[in-house]
Amino acid sequence: MLVIGYGNRDRGDDGAGVMVAERLRKLGFDARILTGEALDLIEAWRGADDVVVVDAVESGAPLGKVWVWDGRTEKIQGSLPISTHGFGVAEAINLASILDCLPKRLRVFGIEGRRFDVGGEISPEVVSATEEVAKRIAGENSTRSASFNASPILTFNAE
């Protein structure tokens, strides 16, 4: 499984994906960090069969809510084209779909954020959510369990 934490640590809650990747690294797992525009995701996951992308989202849901989407079949809600030049994760997935270069399995964890100001602090609720998501991904990596439906904190529609 390839885990990619996407976002910007200098923009408040947009640091959620990066924080999850950092937590996974501390737990001894390999996780990539991607900052900047999301089209680079297409190159980052090229050749990988099972990919998890973690990103901050803003859909209007309660702060810190964790979403999980099947990136191949479901619409990503509240994906942020946040960087000053960027495309968001949703756009990267759409483009990859047209170009037939989506991974065989692609899950997107979205962590609901609210504050995205440059130089802003990450919300405590988002920090808690990153811990939950990191544990979740680490748990799956260590047990190699494919079940994502067990946790009450997550909403996930399996393929």
Partner 1 sequence: MTGRGTKTIRVDTLARVEGEGSLYIKLVGERVADVKLKIYEPPRLFEAFLRGRHFSEAADITARICGICPVAYQMSAVHAMERALGVRVDPAVRLLRRLFYCGEWIESHTLHVYMLHAPDFLGYPDVIAMAAHHRAVVERALRLKKIGNRIVQLLGGREIHPISAAVGGFYKTPNKQQLSELVPDLEWALEASLETVRWTASFEFPNFEQDYEFVALRHPEEYPFNEGRLVSNRGLDIDAAEYEDHFVELHVKHSNALHSVVRGRGSYLVGPLARFNLNFDKLSEVARSAALGAGLRPPVKNLFRSIVVRSVELVFACAEALRIIQGYEPPASPRVDAPNRTGVGQAITEAPRGILYHRYALDDRGLIVAARIVPPTSQNLRQIEDDLREYAARLVAWPIEEATWKCEQAVRSYDPCISCATHSLRVVVEREEVAVD
Where on the chain is the footprint of partner 1 (CB under 8 A)? 8, 10, 34-37, 39-40, 42-43, 58, 80-88, 91, 94-95, 98-99, 116, 118-119
Please report how close the Cβ of residue 146 comes to partner 1 at its closest, in angstroms.
Answer: 30
Q: How far apart are CA 157 and CA 20, in angstroms?
A: 21
**C-alpha to C-alpha distance for 123 and 47, rounded to whole angstroms:** 35
In the DSSP assignment, the letter for residue 13 is G
Closest distance to partner 1 from the beta carbon of 59 (Å): 10
Nearer to partner 1, 40 or 74 (CB): 40
Degrees, nearest 5: CA angle 55-113-136: 50
Compute CA distances 61 → 1, 21, 24, 67, 79, whole Å. Answer: 28, 23, 25, 10, 13
Q: Which of 30, 29, 35, 32 is nearest to 9 (CA)?
A: 35
Nearer to partner 1 among residue 58 and residue 140 (C-beta): 58
Nearer to partner 1, 117 or 131 (CB): 117
CA 82 to chain centre: 14
State which residue, 9 or 135, has the beta carbon closest to partner 1. 9
Closest approach, Cβ 132 to partner 1, in A, equals 23
CB of residue 40 vs partner 1: minimum separation in angstroms?
7
